[in-house]
């Protein structure tokens, strides 16, 4: 992706591409070269329930989803089309164990796996290779250790915080937003709440994921992760502040809810 230096020249140590990833299906140093004029990034937020955005989302040139967020049973609100799926190491088995849901539903699937080198175990790599052989419509990439460090560097440049010393874990949302900015000229993000959303009490409890109605509450999850200093946590609210600054720079629109 040669346009990385144009988009992130203030932040990155002059890499030629954001994702010079190795392609797991053939284990060659083949970069991800796809490009989209217009993309929809569909978050896993329960704010999308009842939105009836499915048809609008499916009309997007490219659609990006995260981890094991399904479309079956929710297509009226989140659509069916999936061009890219960004998958954390912790979700890899859940995605690959359900290929009928996450791989074979669309003609072509590009899965981008990320994780610390110690977490990208051989068992995950072998499973990715085995599923790739069974489903030729699937192309799999993994973020290399060198590029993992660059995601950390970008977090430090944008927030002033070192990820490790601040005991922070980058979220799949962080990886997905950076990847989406590189892939897409125009990006519409559906379902992501603004950083100030949880400052005031929401009118009612909302589950963190649209597909887990009995899962944890959204704002409770955000606030606990942002404020906790015991163990490692995602800094969701800090990340959203960065995304807000990127909106005008990289032609990003947020809706459901809209950002001011």
Q: What is the pLDDT of residues 156-191, one digit of tens each?
A: 999 888 887 877 788 999 999 999 999 999 999 999
Residue in 199, 201, 194 with CA at minimum distance from that of residue 242:
194
The mean-pLDDT minimum among 107-121, 181-195, 209-223 falls in 107-121
Residue whose structure tokens are 């083949």: 30
- Asked if residue 16 is part of any domain, the answer here is no
Is pLDDT at 203 greater than 80 in this prediction? no
- Asked if residue 108 is part of any domain, the answer here is yes
The SS3 call for residue 67 is coil
pLDDT of residue 6: 43
State the Cα–Cα distance between residues 163 and 144, nearest whole angstrom: 18
Is pLDDT at 3 greater than 50 in this prediction? no
Tens-digit pLDDT profile for residues 237-255? 899 999 999 998 999 999 9
State the Cα–Cα distance between residues 9 and 214, nearest whole angstrom: 43
User: Which residues form the domain of 144?
Assistant: 33-255
The mean-pLDDT minimum among 12-21, 42-51, 74-83, 119-128 falls in 12-21
Task: Provide mean pLDDT across the span 128-155.
Answer: 88
When the pLDDT of each residue in the chain is averaged and rounded to a whole number, the result is 85
- Asked if residue 22 is part of any domain, the answer here is no
State the Cα–Cα distance between residues 184 and 35, nearest whole angstrom: 6
pLDDT of residue 168: 78
Residue whose structure tokens are 């379902």: 191
DSSP state letter for 72: T
Confidence category of residue 122, pLDDT binned at 50, 70, 90: confident
pLDDT of residue 74: 98
Confidence category of residue 5, pLDDT binned at 50, 70, 90: very low
The SS3 call for residue 23 is strand
The SS3 call for residue 109 is strand
Task: Provide mean pLDDT across the span 189-194.
Answer: 97
Residue in 184, 179, 191 with CA at minimum distance from that of residue 69:
191
- Asked if residue 75 is part of any domain, the answer here is yes
Task: Quote the pTM value.
Answer: 0.88
Domain harbouring 151, CATH code: 3.90.1480.20
Residue in 160, 189, 161, 169 with CA at minimum distance from that of residue 251:
189
- Asked if residue 4 is part of any domain, the answer here is no
Cβ neighbours of residue 89 under 8 Å, at least 6 residues apart?
A: 113, 114, 115, 116, 119, 120, 124
In the chain, how many domains are there?
1
Of 48-57, 128-137, 148-157, 193-202, give the range with the top mean pLDDT. 48-57
């Amino acid at each position: 992706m040669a346009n990385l230096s144009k988009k992130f020249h203030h932040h990155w140590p002059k890499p030629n591409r954001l994702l010079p990833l190795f392609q797991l299906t053939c284990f060659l140093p083949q970069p991800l070269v796809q490009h989209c004029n217009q993309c929809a990034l569909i978050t896993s937020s329960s704010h999308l329930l009842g939105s009836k955005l499915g048809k609008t989302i499916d009309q997007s040139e490219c659609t990006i989803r995260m981890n094991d967020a399904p479309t079956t049973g929710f297509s009226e609100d989140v659509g069916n089309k999936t061009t890219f799926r960004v998958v954390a190491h912790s979700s890899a088995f859940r995605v690959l164990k359900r290929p009928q849901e996450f791989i074979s539903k669309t003609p072509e699937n590009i899965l981008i796996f990320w994780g610390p080198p110690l977490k990208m175990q051989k068992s995950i790599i072998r499973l990715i290779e085995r599923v790739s052989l069974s489903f030729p419509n699937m192309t799999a990439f993994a973020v290399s250790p060198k590029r993992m460090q660059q995601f950390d560097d970008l977090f430090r440049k944008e927030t002033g915080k070192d990820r490790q010393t601040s005991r922070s874990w980058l979220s799949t949302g962080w990886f997905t937003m950076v990847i989406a900015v590189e892939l897409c000229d125009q990006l519409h993000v559906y379902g992501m709440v603004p950083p100030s959303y949880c400052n005031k009490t929401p009118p009612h409890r909302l589950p963190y994921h649209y597909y887990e109605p009995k899962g944890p509450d959204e704002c409770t999850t955000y606030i606990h992760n942002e404020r906790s200093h015991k163990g490692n946590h995602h800094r969701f609210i800090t990340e959203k502040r960065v995304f807000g600054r990127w909106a005008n720079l990289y032609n990003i629109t947020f809706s459901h809810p809209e950002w001011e």
